[in-house]
Structure 1
């Protein structure tokens, strides 16, 4: 790699964007050079363009240590020029990011390099602190809030537990954030803290290895659904706090990472909820969004009607960004979309196919299903998935599309988190059975008592 740059004070000099490098067809703007008392380069004996070409070809896993070589190396490795060059050369790497919750108000995020099967812990996330002071609540308010969101979504468990302990709403632990990815960064949206629905948004930049607070959402919301569509982040549904308890939200909003601006979406009409036979049922059953997936250029949002402790599936709706409007989801897709838990439905898109995981009635298995849009039905492609359906967990298992394959993230009874992938023997996909499936363990790590919250894949 050449000699190490001297430890003298180094300052970045502005880039000369008129000079071109001569690497065959990969001609690009000249990268930053550095100077202190005399002219300095990233690697003293090489032009900076060649140094960047070398750095771009190194695995990302080494970047954290290489930043310690010198200030010049740190600036180069964290620069947007290096990440842009990696994209141009087709050298980006997909890493899996897993968000966990260990203690009240504490979230931890880990990144998995699937090539070297190494985990890295991200810097601590900023504290989720609400500026709204808690106020006293009557017993009636407690039960009105309790009756809005069910125990499977965890809010009712929190409220019920805190009521019995005679704690105030201001003691509710942080929960209910949603996670998305855009433009090579990880985003965390909202959540509940001290019984207040937050509108804050935090962004993790893997090149800088830092969390930053960005433009807040228009509305505070917890347990919302987030997805990326056409380079923009959409956040819909969830719950907020109303005068008499928790209020299910029909609203949605979209974030443009390039401008940092949020815009409102038209409200979800919940058209199937409007045909309830009586006004009493319409008042008792609360419509909520239970999931979301970006599929075929649109947002697919399964929905339910809720009255604690029961959920009634009512299909779902599709948002078309071109028309800026909602339409009813096909019956087979919406009504057959399996629930991970009551009130939550999981869906990921891999190679333009929509997948989900349906847990069995037992506590140690499930099925991976794929949606057939031509026949409007869900088909089982992996009949036996070794997952543990911990009903007390906020997310007992997760799905991720990594390197074009569906992966399952789950915790074993011994607290080992496993990332596993099913391999079909002899490519028998039309009639899969447990006998012709082998499960490969991509990675395993003991996370102690930490609960799974969410996961995303970043290609950087």
Structure 2
């Protein structure tokens, strides 16, 4: 009769039937269905379309906690659709990603959120692992002591005792780094006594590393730059029979297709103009810096015969004509030199800045390039940094939130991110700005002298122990 048999309590000695109309049955089915659907939603009582709109407006630092709510929340905060929506809403955030070197062969990435002032450690890159002496046997391999972003060849080659695991393609040292299309890239480097072609990519949305197509040439200490959302790699060194060979070749990576294409090789015109064959053979040309500026790749160059470096200007690459040209004389000759001949520069709001280290080992200058006059001009007279003879890279430059930043390490192993703030409404940094902070001590970043136009503000500090700075990139996600 359409009824449901129900067993009742002890008082019921007979079977009773509860009549249920067809309408009641439908109501119960709808109620059960709604309850199931509610459990499947990101936020109860809200359509997922609205919930995603809410999540997209949250600070990205929150995603690391809310992904623990459920599998669906985890899938949501790792979806490309969510980050596409964040971009449409103008809610992307610039984070600083910093590569450090622990001991002699371990690389570690850290992310810094300038808004929350929090540091995060990225998942470990696939790496070569060394093991202690094993009964299964020993294997020796040799590697040049070339670590950090500078070209520093040790007097002797260090020997390492160990055994590698299956991850035998990840570079130990000499790798280049870049950032394009919202991802980090680690390229090439040295493994054993050879240079590598491998390329690894970190996706901050998935919070994971993956291997992508390798470069066409093996290289270490190459330079990277971004033009038209493409990753360019130029120069570097390769391992040959006679030792390290500087490379003139260049190539470009297209993130949308995951493919590499060839770029015309750098002419190294200054090296070809040396007066004698002896000097040509003795002084090897090498790319010592790269900055993407005004739609071109600006590659500074040097001639070297270790340990001597001679700056010889540089060359620029125009993607429109797919050709190289001589760098403007003033840009090339006045580009501040860094240790071992490398150049440290960054573009902020269309302005090209470079760091000029001081001989006093506790400060430096920031110069800006004046394109109209083809000259470098001091824009910041004193940068409170600590330079250590034993440190491969005691400072880095970065640009985010429209301001210039310096990353430095002090004697207490603390790594500090310093921001150049204007003390008055003088507009952007200009050569007319007065000098900076009178003292170089890290204890005085927040103090301001009356005559100062710029003050260094510490926006993040952390003790990383005895690590070396290798490089940094900024990603807007």
- The alignment's TM-score, normalised by the length of structure 1, stands at 0.84
CA RMSD of aligned residues (A): 2.6
- Number of the residue aligned with 1:187: 185
The alpha-carbon distance between structure 1 residues 196 and 248, as it changes in their structure 2 partners (threshold 3 A), is same
SS in structure 2 of the partner of residue 292 of structure 1: strand
Deviation at residue 44 of structure 1 after TM alignment? 3.2
Bigger CA radius of gyration: 2
- Number of the residue aligned with 2:197: 199
Q: 2:322 aligns with which of 321, 324, 328?
A: 324
CA distance in 1, matches of 2:304, 2:37: 69
1:110-149: CA deviations, max 9, x gaps? 111101101011111111589xxx9999xxxx9xx99xx9
- Number of the residue aligned with 1:87: 87
Task: Report 1:207-356 matches (<5 A).
Answer: 207-356=205-354
Task: Report 1:1-400 matches (<5 A).
Answer: 40-128=40-128, 153-157=150-154, 160-162=155-157, 174-400=172-398
CA distance in 1, matches of 2:221, 2:128: 15
The alpha-carbon distance between structure 1 residues 127 and 96, as it changes in their structure 2 partners (threshold 3 A), is same
- Number of the residue aligned with 1:454: 471
CA distance in 1, matches of 2:223, 2:323: 17
Q: Is the CA contact 1:425–1:438 (under 8 Å) kept in the aligned structure 2? A: yes
SS in structure 2 of the partner of residue 199 of structure 1: coil
CA distance in 2, matches of 1:271, 1:382: 33
SS in structure 2 of the partner of residue 45 of structure 1: coil
- The alignment's TM-score, normalised by the length of structure 2, stands at 0.81
The alpha-carbon distance between structure 1 residues 42 and 161, as it changes in their structure 2 partners (threshold 3 A), is same
Unaligned stretches of 5+ residues in structure 2 = 1-33, 131-138, 165-170, 437-448
The alpha-carbon distance between structure 1 residues 371 and 195, as it changes in their structure 2 partners (threshold 3 A), is same
SS in structure 2 of the partner of residue 153 of structure 1: coil
Q: Is the CA contact 1:317–1:327 (under 8 Å) kept in the aligned structure 2? A: yes
CA distance in 1, matches of 2:114, 2:312: 38
1:215-244: CA deviations, max 9, x gaps? 111111111101111000001011110112
Q: Is the CA contact 1:41–1:47 (under 8 Å) kept in the aligned structure 2? A: yes
SS in structure 2 of the partner of residue 281 of structure 1: helix
**Mean Cα displacement is larger for which, 338-347 or 233-242?**
338-347
Q: 2:434 aligns with which of 432, 435, 444?
A: 432
- The runs of 4+ residues in structure 1 deviating greater than 4 Å are 35-39, 134-137, 149-152, 165-168
Task: Report 1:408-427 matches (<5 A).
Answer: 408-427=406-425
